[in-house]
Structure 1
Amino acid sequence: MNSLTNQFLIALPDMQDDRFHHSLILICEHNKDGALGIVLNKPSDLQFGEVLNSLKIDCDDDGIMDEIAYEGGPVNKECGFVIHSGTAKFQSSIQISQQLALTTSRDIIEQIANNNLQRQWLFCLGCSSWSAGQLEQEILNNSWLTVSADTDLVFSNSDDKWEKGLALLGIQPHQLSGDFGHA
């Protein structure tokens, strides 16, 4: 099994699960037990300041308070996931690549609130997960395209991350058809 860690999953237009329509997902961990990913392009109605207030963490930086929280996926929607640049030096982190890590512990939230995190970051509520073999089967069923993750795209504020993910493969959305087959 080839690991899909540090790959983007790009939902094909005929994705049957509405929760993943036009999703761009960063695979943070993939092994024999399954996979964990974070949707990168579904902004929520929640601002990061609301998360800080709920955790009773003070922050005086309006720019940080106004950051958008993203919907990382349908699993553990009450849990925060921070994708950030650099190494994983926090209480609960995994290193995705040399450039990217995922942290779920409060200490990174406090570092962000105090403006002490000199890294790029993206805050998401929830994640996406697959059991052993499930993601591989979904790829075989033509639900997803895969491409190596692009760090700049992970942290981009653009509204067209899905389209830009396709562009990494040299594909424009109008070129996709729902009529895929196997040779």
Structure 2
Amino acid sequence: METIPLFGPYSLRALRAEDAPDIFASIDTQRLHLGRWLPFVADTHQIEQTRQVVAGMLADTANPVFTLRDGCTFAGLIGFKSADGRKRSIEIGYWLREEQQGKGIMTAAVRALCDLAFGEMGMQRVEIRCGVGNLPSNRIPQRLGFLRSHIEMQGEQLSDGTWIDLNVYVLTH
């Protein structure tokens, strides 16, 4: 599960501690793009913060995280969260550098993680939550046959203090 080929030069690679500088550089140079929908961007100002978050992700073995790669270049992050072995349910979260959007990379990556969740991990349900107004992010689960289960009212607080509603998409095995 170290590397998963997607298409062309694109692949998923299991997150490593040494990915922290690339992740931080993306956050730091794409604050406007990423910060619109990702609340943690406004609070991430030092690489050490990113190193700590990556260490936490690596310690959480129930929820694997992957870097998206364009050849050897970091393109984004995707991973599992909120694994519930009893309910056999898991959530996928993701983000992509602005110049990588619109190429089908994230759709392929989410498809690969669904295959992993339903196959190797034995899950029965995969969820994705997207800000109602984040149309590119919403298109991914829609494209892959997820059904919108419900709207989580005021499900996330953005960095400017605004609360937004989240579309909750579900795919079952």
Normalised to the residue count of structure 2, the TM-score between the two structures is: 0.26
Higher CA-based Rg: 1
Q: More helix by proportion, 1 or 2?
A: 2
Q: Which has the higher contact order (CA 8 A, sep 6+)?
A: 1
